[in-house]
Structure 1
Amino acid sequence: MHKNVELTSVTKASPDCERASDEGRPTSRITGFHQDEDGHWVVELSCGHSQHLRHQPPWQARPWVLDPAQRAQRIGQAFACGWCAQEADSATLGR
């Protein structure tokens, strides 16, 4: 089984990551973007987590991430946090 490893600086729990009523998945808000050491774009979320958003066609088509204006337009938008979803799914396994 593959274990996800994440830096401790981005794994803090936050009340900003709540279950969305329509899908039942945790949702955060986009608070910003930065580039990693390899120049890939990373989205910063209100829950404290982060996620890479790469534009690598044909596997990942996100041309908007390369445009500063389009990135800025997405600040404040809802974003399904995969890290929070994993924690929520793990929390329900013991029931």
Structure 2
Amino acid sequence: MKTSTIIGWRQDEEQHWVVVLSCGHTQHQRHQPPWQSRPWVLDPEQRQAKIGQPFDCGWCAQNADSANLGN
């Protein structure tokens, strides 16, 4: 899996948090217990602390083209 870096955050139209990666891809980071437990994503300081951290990009692992993903 290709490791990218977290460069920012945005929210989608449903107000779910989306991580923006250095490779150009994005990935939802939802907190929807019990399926997805990421309470830190709801805290602005904890999200900010993730910027600059490595992130395994599943899209890159699939050789996906950013232009075709509808970021």
Class of the TM-score when normalised by the shorter of the 2 chains: 0.7 to 0.9
Larger radius of gyration: 1
Moved over 6 A (4+): none
What TM-score, normalized to structure 2?
0.87
Report whether the alignment pairs 1:45 with 2:21: yes
Aligned residues between the structures: 64
* Equivalent of 2:7 in 31, 50, 53: 31
Match of 1:71 in 2: 47
Identity among equivalent positions (%) equals 70
CA distance in 1, matches of 2:52, 2:19: 11
Give deviations 1:14-67, integer Å, cap 9, x for gaps.
xxxxxxxxxxx2000000000001000000000000000000000000000000
Larger strand share, 1 or 2? 2
Counterparts of 1:46-61 in structure 2, within 5 Å, are: 46-61=22-37
What TM-score, normalized to structure 1?
0.66
Q: Which runs of 5+ in 2 are unaligned?
A: 65-71
